[in-house]
Amino acid sequence: MKQTINSILLLVIIGVAVLFFVVDPAQHEIFPQCLFHSLTGGYCPGCGSQRALHSLLHFDFAGVVGYNFLFLPAALFILYHYLYPLLNKAFGWKLPNLFYKKQTPLIVLAIVIVFWIARNLPWYPFNVLAPVG
């Protein structure tokens, strides 16, 4: 059962990745708009993530950072979470599991809140954190 769920999840992830690779969210309106931005005009921590994912799949790292400065570090953090057990097993390393440390949720929450506030400040250098386009 668990293998079936994992297989379905993997297929969904591949399908979403193909969709974001083929369709540019900046040019098509099939993707959902940010409710927070629609209601307030401000940017939530996730604003620009759809366009950042499209840019990442095309190896446009400047575009990723321009759309959402926090997206690339978050993607690398999540990638690490899935790769560290494989690396530990394959190479005999002892990389730590950063996801389940006691302080990780508080650190992530603090980073997200500071980013959320900073990207909505109207002056330099904070205004460069707002998504481009």
The tens place of each residue's pLDDT in the chain, 133 residues long, gives 777 887 898 899 899 999 999 999 989 888 888 999 999 999 999 999 999 999 999 999 999 999 999 999 999 998 888 888 888 888 988 888 878 888 989 999 999 999 999 999 999 999 899 998 7
CB of 46 closer than 8 Å to CB of 112:
no
**Per-residue buried b or exposed e for 24-58, using 16+ beta carbons within 10 Å of the residue's own CB:** ebbeeeeeeebeeeeeeeebbbbbbbbbbbbbbee
Give the chain as a DSSP string: -HHHHHHHHHHHHHHHHHHHHHS-TTT-S-SPPPHHHHHHS---TTTTHHHHHHHHHTT-HHHHHHH-TTHHHHHHHHHHHHHHHHHHHHH------STTSTTHHHHHHHHHHHHHHHTT--STTGGGGSPP-
Domain that holds residue 62: 2-129
Structural domain count of the chain: 1
Q: The whole model's pTM is what? A: 0.83
